[in-house]
Amino acid sequence: MRRFFYAFGFALLAGALVWALSPAEEAKRQRQLFLEQSGGAHPGELFVAEGEEYYNSLEGAGGKTMADCDFGKGPGVLEGAYAELPKYFADSDRVEDLDTRVVTCLTQVLGFGEDEFDRDMVVALVSYIASFSHEMPIRVTLDDPQEKEMFEIGERLWYWRAGQMDLSCAACHDRYPGRRVRLAPIRSPEQGLTDHWPAYTFGFDKMYTLENRINFCYDSIQIPHPEFYSTPHIALSLYMRYRANGNELDVPGFTR
């Protein structure tokens, strides 16, 4: 029923498009219309609530819970943690984004096997934890040598041209910010490319994280996308969010 309701709302939006608006204005108008059709409720909050339920109910080996996990501000501290990610973590000896850090928590702290959780659980937990950084400025640093190295990898990936279309991330997001592809506005990192992820995508009635967003770009230029929680995801996330330092987070986001 929920999927039918949101699909119906999307159909109403599609029938009311105003092509003269800028990409940013059009996206804002679609969001407002959708929220009006849904009674003002942000559907992304349903996924945040699901993540909250997981966060409070999951229990692992030795009675460990998600509150025993450190997301960068100390065990159990969620306020502002997402605003500072990706970052280096000494316990895993690697730079991690929030998606990867959730998996580290589930496997290393709670002791779960990879068959005991799925991608949907990770996305829900990411959505919940990220919500504690809503309206906070992004504050990603390069203080650790591994953070600097990951930034450099991300920068190379950003400008790497590949595939049959011979495109890179920069070819669209640095060259054509402010324009749009169909109804999707093109943004540079400084213009908010990463600021509203994780985001509810009403065209699919699902919540997606920044790792999903990266995969969408790879798919759109016909390049096989990286595996979730891999170095390319973390590197690109770090590179983009470092460029977006100071931007205010709007999470959970809302996109078509």
Active-site residue list: 217
Q: What are the phi and psi torsion angles at 200 (to 5°)? A: -80, 130
Residue 113 carries which side chain, given as an amino acid letter? G
Q: Which two tokens stand for residue 159?
A: 């400008």
Question: Dihedral angle at the C-alpha atoms of 44, 50, 53, 56, nearest 10 degrees?
Answer: -60
Q: Collect all residues with Cβ–Cβ distance below 8 Å to 28 and sequence separation of at least 6.
A: none
Which among 123, 88, 87, 81 has a CA at the least distance from the CA of 102? Answer: 123
Residues 212, 232: Cα–Cα separation, whole Å: 12
